[in-house]
Amino acid sequence: MNLEDAKVIVTGAASGLGRCFALNFAQSGAQVLGFDVDDEGLLALEEEEENISTYAGNVADEEDVKEAVSTAIEAFGSVNGLVNNAGIFRDGLLAKKDRDTGEVKTMSLEQWQTVIDVNLTGTFLCTREVAAHMIETQPEEGVIVNISSSSRHGNRGQTNYSATKAGVVADTKLWAEELARYGVRVGAVAPGFAQTPILDAMREEMLEKLLSKVPLRRAAKPEEIYLAVKFIFECGYFTGRCIDVDGGISM
């Protein structure tokens, strides 16, 4: 797909990787709708780049998703691209014994369900609505990119997050097979550690410990993750696979 022809919804666009994706798409000539719960972040995004429209809502809310897609269609005439980037984490061990009290503590259902709702159900809802629109309008080409993570292989303390990021890769393959007949390609990108506000907020010693596990000994620049997303959009023979952009880390 030529990016100048792209009409893309980017979820989680108010900050971090999503903000980078939205800005780079827009600067390449694409029309972009940024979808996020962060009103202030979306306003700043609109002010920075005129090719970006925004919708404030929750990807885990079915009506918000439908309204976001409708807003993009109204603004651009149609939608032929989607980047499912919105994601959260609520880390914790499945079960552990407190060293001082001996009490056994567990991951709460709320910790589990909140992450499932945003990372997995949100990806499902956005993909379902955009795919249905593409099938109805039959664009020359449609592209959907799901943002997974190197944690999809299983990362201690991330039972909920790892499950969602593995799930979106499984769905990437499945949806690629189901939607190919309609000219829609589906791919995934799995970043490792990337320079985002979450990483920036970490204590220096903790960050150094994390990055010591990465063969390249550094976090990715957001633009380096965008290059993988851009490749999936532009390479017409890519579908059903996940690109790891993780500096060679093993989890």
Say how many domains are in the chain: 1
Residue 184's domain is classified under what CATH number? 3.40.50.720
In a domain, 30, yes or no: yes
In a domain, 201, yes or no: yes
Gap between the Cα atoms of 174 and 44, Å rounded:
36
Report pTM: 0.92
Gap between the Cα atoms of 143 and 234, Å rounded:
9
Domain that holds residue 153: 3-243
In a domain, 196, yes or no: yes
In a domain, 82, yes or no: yes
pLDDT in tens, 56-109: 999 999 999 999 999 999 999 999 999 999 998 888 898 988 888 889 998 899
Distances, alpha carbon 122 to alpha carbons 51, 66, 92, 203, 217, in Å: 25, 11, 21, 30, 32
In a domain, 60, yes or no: yes
- For residue 183, give every residue at least 6 positions away whose Cβ sits within 8 Å of its Cβ, in sequence order, or none: 134, 138, 139, 140, 141, 142
Q: What pLDDT does residue 251 have?
A: 67
Cα atoms in the Cβ-side hemisphere of radius 13 Å centred on 50: 0
Least confident interval from 48-52, 69-73, 120-124, 237-241: 48-52
pLDDT in tens, 159-199: 899 999 999 999 999 999 999 999 999 999 999 888 887 67
Cα 205 to chain centroid, rounded: 28
pLDDT in tens, 205-223: 777 877 878 888 888 899 9
Q: Is 237 a catalytic residue?
A: no
In a domain, 123, yes or no: yes
- Which of these is catalytic: 55, 161, 182, 237? 161
Distances, alpha carbon 85 to alpha carbons 107, 140, 162, 201, 227, in Å: 24, 24, 15, 20, 14
In a domain, 80, yes or no: yes
In a domain, 59, yes or no: yes
- For residue 173, give every residue at least 6 positions away whose Cβ sits within 8 Å of its Cβ, in sequence order, or none: 240, 241
Contacts 24+ apart (CB under 8 A), 108-116: 111/160, 112/159, 112/160, 114/88, 114/90, 115/88, 115/89, 115/90, 115/160, 115/161, 115/164, 116/160, 116/163, 116/164
